[in-house]
Amino acid sequence: MKFFVDTADVEAIAELNDLGMVDGVTTNPSLILKSGRDIIEVTKEICSIVSGPVSAEVVALKAEDMIAEGRKLAEIAPNIAVKVPLTWDGLKTCKVLSSEGKMVNVTLCFSANQALLAAKAGATFISPFIGRLDDINLDGLELISDIREIYDNYGFDTQILAASIRTANHVTQCALIGADVMTAPPAVIKAMASHVLTDKGLDQFMKDWAKTGQKII
Ligand code: G3P
């Protein structure tokens, strides 16, 4: 499973990238706001760090305007994936931009039918939002599973990019289901390294080591 990092925080991206944990990056208007940076400048900087797909989202609502924005965003770097919302205009935009050879990430997906439409429109990535479905007492992981089955039934090559991941357990479940990609905030990726028994075991080793009175260096 590929790991994308869901942030526009350049320092956090660079830290994870140095560890080989970053296969791509996803941003959205809320994350650009959080970064406090200009969208073009920060996206360019991210693309200079990460060689995999970097999603940059359009903000227009009409297809014609979305297409123009998508083309401008795609000029930032060759690894830009233009992110469009799963609306009818977004699907039109997806079809046009993917036909031009641009990567397109169709976002804000909350149903299997929406995912089916995105694949038909030539999406490179479909982004189903797990956490936001869980927030309203629906099952986000079940959606990932349904899309996996549907795409496999028909051999669609659109990649399932599990998004709105809130916990390390979401990552495990997405990997078990067979999501192609997961995108998570840096804190969730770091939380994957934590285990209470690791902490407990290390604590014991440190205590016993101190008792030996030895040093390695
Ligand atoms: O990738 C989409 C993500 O940024 C949304 O996450 O936690 O705001 O639902 P969240």
Whether this prediction's pTM lies above 0.85 is answered by yes
pLDDT tens per residue across span 27-65: 999 999 999 999 999 999 999 999 999 999 999 999 999
- Report the pocket of ligand 1 as residue ranges, CB < 6 Å: 6, 26, 28, 129, 131-132, 163-164, 166, 183
Domains observed in the chain: 2-212 (3.20.20.70)
CA of 27 to the centre of ligand 1 (A): 9
Q: Which residues contact 172 (CB under 8 A, 6 or more apart)?
A: none
Residue nearest to atom 9 of ligand 1 (CA): 164
pLDDT in tens, 156-183: 999 999 999 999 999 999 999 999 999 9
Helix, strand, or coil (residue 81): strand
**Residue 70: band (very low, low, confident or very high) from pLDDT cuts 50, 70, 90:** very high
Tell me what the mean pLDDT of segment 191-199 comes to: 97
Cα(178)–Cα(176) distance, integer angstroms:
5
